[in-house]
Amino acid sequence: MEQAYPPKNLSATLSAIANPQLFNPLSFTMTSAQLLRSGAFALGVTGLLLLGMTQLIATDYRAPPDELPPKVLGIHMPKITPTVQKSDPVLKPQDVPPPLPRVEINHKVEPQDLPTVISPPVVGNERSGPIPITADPLPIYKPAPQYPRRALARGIEGYVVVEFTITSNGSVKNPRVVGGYDSAGAPTDVFNNAALNAVERFKYRPPMSEGQAVEQHGVRNRISFKLAE
């Protein structure tokens, strides 16, 4: 059984009607219905377009109102007062004092006899010579003591008080230890020998008494032993 399909266009439909062998009444009926629907749809679209154009024509278009420019406040200018500089009036010059009276000088000098007195030198009991000098001893050379190995290994610091005599030629004799202590103040003899060896090499300017070098006994010196940081 053959099945009819609607033709795709109007020319195909007319060809089918002209050809009796290919013409199918059912197919023609369906084609007419489609044409009617298409025509009705076209009329509807045309009517809507005409209605829209009519509304556009009937609309009263107005230009947007012009915006007013922003209001600018007036500029207030302060009142300017000119500055006037006043100068003191010029004082009248004072009167020049009168010149001093002229004094005449007499350039003529009359020679006079001046008395000349020559007195003989006075011989007294005064003696001139060196002024006696008294001075304390002044250190000239004080070598640093050698740090004991035992104290260095144990990290001990301290000091020793040594008493000695300064001779008339500035050397040191009879040194002795008064006391030896560590950094905590506890007595120790670990630094005694090193302190004595250093003091024996000290050199001083000898003490002076009335211009003469003398010995000075009981001189004390503190020898410190401190590890380098």
Distance of CA 207 to the CA centre of its chain: 56
For 23-60, the pLDDT digits (tens) are: 455 444 556 777 788 878 888 888 888 887 877 776 65
Q: 166 is in which domain, residue-wise?
A: 138-225
Asked whether residue 72 is assigned to any structural domain, the reply reads: no
User: Splitting the chain (229 residues) into consecutive groups of 10 residues, what average pLDDT does each group show?
Assistant: 43 50 50 76 85 72 68 74 70 69 65 61 59 82 92 93 94 94 92 95 91 91 89
pTM over 0.75: no
- Say if 20 falls within a structural domain: yes
Residue 75 lies in a domain: no
**What's the pLDDT tens digit per position in 144-166?**
999 999 999 999 999 999 999 99
Three-state DSSP class for residue 33: helix
User: What pLDDT, on a 0 to 100 scale, did the predictor assign at position 75?
Assistant: 75
Q: Does some domain include residue 77? A: no
Confidence (pLDDT) at 106: 62
* Other CB atoms within 10 Å distance of the CB of residue 113: 5
pLDDT score recorded for residue 180: 94
Please report whether residue 105 resides in a domain.
no
Distance CA(188)–CA(176), nearest Å, equals 15
**73 domain-assigned:** no
Structural domain tally of the chain?
2
Within a domain: 122: no
- Helices 10-18 + 25-58 axis angle, to 10: 150
Q: Where are the beta strands (DSSP E) in the chain?
A: 138-141, 158-166, 172-182, 203-205, 208-209, 212-213, 216-225
CATH number at residue 149: 3.30.2420.10
Does the residue 215 lie in any domain?
A: yes
Both structure tokens of 25: 């009444």
